Structure 1
Amino acid sequence: MEGRPTRVFICEGSAIARAQLADLIGKQPGLRLVGSAAEPITAAEAQRRQVDVLLVGEGSPGKAQARAAAGRGIAVLALGESGPSPVARPAARSQAELAEYGRLLAERLKAASRSAGAATALPAGRPPPPGRPGAYPGRIVFIGASTGGTEAIKEVLLGLPAQMPPVLMVQHMPEMFTPSFAKRLDDLCALHVKEAEQGERLHGGTVYLAPGHSHLSISRHGGGYVCELARSEPVNRHRPSVDVLFRSAAAEVGAAAIGVLLTGMGKDGAEGLLRMKHAGAWTIAQDQRSCVVYGMPREAVALGAAREVLPLNAIATHVMQRLASPLHTD
């Protein structure tokens, strides 16, 4: 409902941290603290309390509980470096720094709530067909995202089976966070998720995340493909850049590629998605309703780069349907 505050429940083992977080959340407009506890509550209990976001610390929900919460439209943010969608812990700092931390925390909580709500408010697509060993030879999936992308990427990857062609991915994120982001996705998803390494050969069933310090692209090598990392100048003010990845997809993979551009501010990835389309790839942009920020996908749509514009919760299904179809030709 319009103007409804984001309802937050804190699950944190430290009574001091719970009190500090409760104080910070209580000072933020648009947030409402609906409870706190030392142990994680169940998804059913969170739904009964009409929780929008679970903010969890020590003893954060495991894979099954995180999936259960997400399935009920409840976002999960974790304090520290583990668990779904981590945020930094509040540390001993000045009042001015705590106030800024509270403001940034509020933005993360609201963004997570919008992302989870947009996904569950839309009709669910039929589940993707199961993967097969050796399926989809020669195919590669490329994903790019920025603001709101951590939740959007998780939504897409949770809908994909373990037996997939390689997936390469750029999420705009500082380098100190990409290792924990990859580990968290690896814990949650059927696919193996890892940071890409220079010269690493691509294998099916694996998602390669660009490390926060380098552009990620691919090149042909010995009958297959390998990851290429470069600490060259930022593109569209970003390193890693989605455009760098998508341009390499157009040049090296062509019509065997699938490109997916998710929520994000700015225009990074739009021009690269257009190059992929011109090379014969199937291209998908997230729709405005399900985006946290409709910037990058909007630019792609304006350029005519997207063959499909889809709600977030339909993207995984359409990727699987496209992989099971003959290569697209104009």
Structure 2
Amino acid sequence: MIKVLVIDDSALIRQVLTELINRAPDLTVVGAVGDAYAARDFIRQSPPDVLTLDIEMPRMDGLTFLQKLMKGHPMPVVMVSTLTESGAEATLQALDLGAVDFIAKPKLDVRRELGDYQAVIHDKLRAAAAVTRFRATQKRVIKPIEALGVSTEHILAIGASTGGTEAIKAVLTALPADAPGTVVTQHMPSGFTRTFAERLNRNSALEVREAQGHERILPGQVFIAPGNRHLTVVRSGSDFQTRLVDSEQVQGHRPSVDVLFQSVADACGANAVGVILTGMGKDGAAGLLSMYRGGCYTLAQDEASCVVYGMPRVALEAGGVTEVQALDDIPDRLIKHWHKVGAGHRI
């Protein structure tokens, strides 16, 4: 039985989360407290397996508490965040500090809307409870990299889920300013992806933004799939462009990594690289296999460096992975590959 501690200053949210979590046969709420000090005392006396943590709390906010927790008593944390711009920024800071994942808190009918997310909440808590490694993002010292001289005919496609915000950051911040045009699907609700793109743009040499659709994909540019819309790549004449699609969920997700990877396989042939990073579930495995069969170089993050070794494992088992690499080694492998194949193309 997975023991869960709920930390939220709202009595209603504590009650609703407790009811929803306790509906799972393998999850049980062992405590529900209203502030960080009560949480600290509870953890000292009876450590839970995983906790949910609100960001906005009296006396000590969730980010401060999380930072102290990860230094003194690291454990799996799932944030409960509001669907606002400030909530998105704080949530991404929490993931940077070591939180495993987050649940978006509804703004209106809390009981009904959280009930709609019951299965998601259960899955996120199970995945978080299984995490044994906690590493807040380290400040990366990025050495200057010579220009790649890559062409407009090369595309990098990245897919991730749980733990992916920091894994994607680790990859993109280590790439040079003229890296191939890049498309990214990270499982994330609408309202969070624009903030995620803005944070990446501030922290990398690349131009990162949330995809709007119909953009030409050029070297040095990164397009993030917007929440609740599939991102795809299409060929337009001799160029590649983004397209946004509002079709049904795939593998339970919109945006879906499978949708992105399959579109890259169809549009780009062998002129693409696929990278599948940490995340629970199997989204991306089928699409990466299509890329691999089409002649693409494909990389999967290894188990030791994953927060959740789900999506990369399934992709490897499906036979669509060229290489398995530790997260910190993926940028170097990409650069070596592009140096090998990038000469002699149209810039």
The one of 28, 48, 53 aligned to 1:31: 28
Q: Secondary structure at the match of 2:33?
A: strand
Matching of residue 169 in structure 1 with residue 184 in structure 2: yes
Task: Find the counterpart in structure 1 of residue 203 from structure 2.
Answer: 190
Q: 1:106-130 CA deviation, whole Å, 9 max, x = no partner?
A: 443232333xx24449xx9999661
The one of 76, 79, 83 aligned to 2:78: 76
Task: Find the counterpart in structure 2 of residue 155 from structure 1.
Answer: 166
* 1:45-124 matches, cutoff 5 A: 50=47, 52-59=50-57, 61-62=62-63, 72-81=74-83, 82=87, 83-84=90-91, 85-89=102-106, 91=109, 93=111, 105-114=121-130, 117-120=131-134
Task: Find the counterpart in structure 1 of residue 323 from structure 2.
Answer: 308
Q: Specify whether residues 255 and 37 from structure 1 end up closer, same or farther in structure 2 by C-alpha distance, changes over 3 A only.
A: same
Structure 1: tracts of 5 or more residues without a match: none
Separation in 1 of the partners of 2:320 and 2:222? Answer: 26
The offset of 1:15, in angstroms, is 4.3
The offset of 1:48, in angstroms, is 5.6
The one of 217, 224, 231 aligned to 2:233: 217
Q: Specify whether residues 263 and 161 from structure 1 end up closer, same or farther in structure 2 by C-alpha distance, changes over 3 A only.
A: closer
Q: Secondary structure at the match of 1:155?
A: helix
Equivalent pair of 1:218/1:245 in contact (CA under 8 Å): no
Q: Specify whether residues 206 and 75 from structure 1 end up closer, same or farther in structure 2 by C-alpha distance, changes over 3 A only.
A: farther
Task: Find the counterpart in structure 2 of residue 323 from structure 1.
Answer: 334
Q: Specify whether residues 130 and 233 from structure 1 end up closer, same or farther in structure 2 by C-alpha distance, changes over 3 A only.
A: same
Alignment length (residue pairs): 305
Equivalent pair of 1:178/1:195 in contact (CA under 8 Å): no
Separation in 2 of the partners of 1:125 and 1:308? Answer: 24
Q: Which amino acid aligns with 1:226?
A: Q
Q: 1:153-212 CA deviation, whole Å, 9 max, x = no partner?
A: 123124245463454222456xxx233244257458835764311122446374512542
Q: Which amino acid aligns with 1:200?
A: E
Q: Which amino acid aligns with 1:190?
A: N
Q: Secondary structure at the match of 2:203?
A: coil
The offset of 1:306, in angstroms, is 0.7
Q: Secondary structure at the match of 1:179?
A: coil
The offset of 1:328, in angstroms, is 7.9
Task: Find the counterpart in structure 2 of residue 8 from structure 1.
Answer: 5
Task: Find the counterpart in structure 2 of residue 143 from structure 1.
Answer: 158
- Of all paired residues, the percent bearing the same amino acid is 22
Q: Which amino acid aligns with 1:30?
A: L
* 1:236-275 matches, cutoff 5 A: 240-250=255-265, 251-252=267-268, 254=270, 257-260=273-276, 262-266=278-282, 268-275=284-291
Q: Secondary structure at the match of 2:192?
A: helix
TM-score for both structures, normalised by structure 2: 0.63
Equivalent pair of 1:66/1:76 in contact (CA under 8 Å): no
Separation in 2 of the partners of 1:290 and 1:198? Answer: 30
Matching of residue 283 in structure 1 with residue 294 in structure 2: no
The offset of 1:220, in angstroms, is 6.4
Q: Which amino acid aligns with 2:334?
A: L
Task: Find the counterpart in structure 1 of residue 99 from structure 2.
Answer: none
Q: Specify whether residues 162 and 27 from structure 1 end up closer, same or farther in structure 2 by C-alpha distance, changes over 3 A only.
A: same
The one of 127, 130, 141 aligned to 2:142: 130
Equivalent pair of 2:282/2:315 in contact (CA under 8 Å): no
Equivalent pair of 1:243/1:272 in contact (CA under 8 Å): yes
The offset of 1:10, in angstroms, is 0.4
Separation in 2 of the partners of 1:266 and 1:45? Answer: 38
Q: Which amino acid aligns with 1:55?
A: L
Equivalent pair of 1:243/1:271 in contact (CA under 8 Å): yes
Separation in 1 of the partners of 2:221 and 2:260? Answer: 19
Separation in 2 of the partners of 1:21 and 1:154? Answer: 25
Equivalent pair of 1:195/1:211 in contact (CA under 8 Å): no
Equivalent pair of 1:300/1:306 in contact (CA under 8 Å): yes
Separation in 2 of the partners of 1:48 and 1:141? Answer: 46
Q: Specify whether residues 160 and 88 from structure 1 end up closer, same or farther in structure 2 by C-alpha distance, changes over 3 A only.
A: same
The offset of 1:55, in angstroms, is 1.9
Equivalent pair of 2:192/2:227 in contact (CA under 8 Å): no
Separation in 2 of the partners of 1:281 and 1:55? Answer: 39
Task: Find the counterpart in structure 2 of residue 208 from structure 1.
Answer: 224
Equivalent pair of 2:258/2:285 in contact (CA under 8 Å): yes
